[in-house]
């Protein structure tokens, strides 16, 4: 089995009927109510690169992986109920809860689908 392709943030990554571009990643420290949990918010763009309409529900699940390979799934996103016309794109936000002690972004990456390509956050 070939290793997953690795892309830099800002690169357009093709994923079947879709392409995805990581636009921005922001780390938000834990607040007063949950000081041990930080949030990583990722802004990204999804585009339909097929010749027909495609439901966003078919876009691969996103997971944030730390430098040890531990995956943190994204919180549910209501945008997945939409359908994209050919060539159309949509801006989306994925939020991930991570342990505050793991908040150093060095080595973190965004995995697109199970065993799919990864986008480095730095």
**In this structure, what are the phi and psi dihedrals at residue 61, rounded to the nearest 5 degrees?**
-65, 145
Task: Check residue 79 and give its pLDDT.
Answer: 62
Map 40-52 to HEC letters.
EEEEEEEEECCCC
Structure tokens at 6: 């690795």
Structure tokens at 9: 């943030």
Domains and CATH numbers, the chain: 6-113 (2.60.40.1240)
Q: Tell me the pLDDT tens digit for each residue of 19-71.
A: 999 999 888 877 667 768 888 899 999 999 999 999 988 888 899 998 888 89
Q: Tell me the pLDDT tens digit for each residue of 68-94.
A: 888 999 987 666 678 999 999 999 999
29 near 41, Cβ under 8 Å? Answer: no
Task: Check residue 1 and give its pLDDT.
Answer: 46
Task: Check residue 101 and give its pLDDT.
Answer: 73
Nearest Cα residue to 74 out of 88, 56, 91, 60: 60
């Amino acid at each position: 089995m070939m290793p997953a392709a690795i892309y830099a943030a800002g690169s357009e990554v093709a994923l079947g009927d879709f392409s995805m571009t990581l636009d921005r990643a922001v780390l938000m420290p834990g607040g007063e109510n949950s000081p041990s949990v930080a949030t990583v918010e990722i802004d990204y763009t999804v585009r339909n690169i097929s010749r027909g309409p495609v439901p966003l529900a078919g876009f691969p699940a996103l997971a944030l992986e730390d430098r040890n390979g531990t995956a943190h799934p994204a919180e549910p996103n209501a945008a997945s109920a939409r359908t994209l016309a050919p060539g159309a794109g949509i801006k989306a936000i994925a939020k991930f809860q991570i342990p505050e002690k793991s908040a150093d972004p060095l080595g973190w990456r965004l995995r697109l689908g199970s065993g799919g390509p990864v986008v480095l956050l730095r």
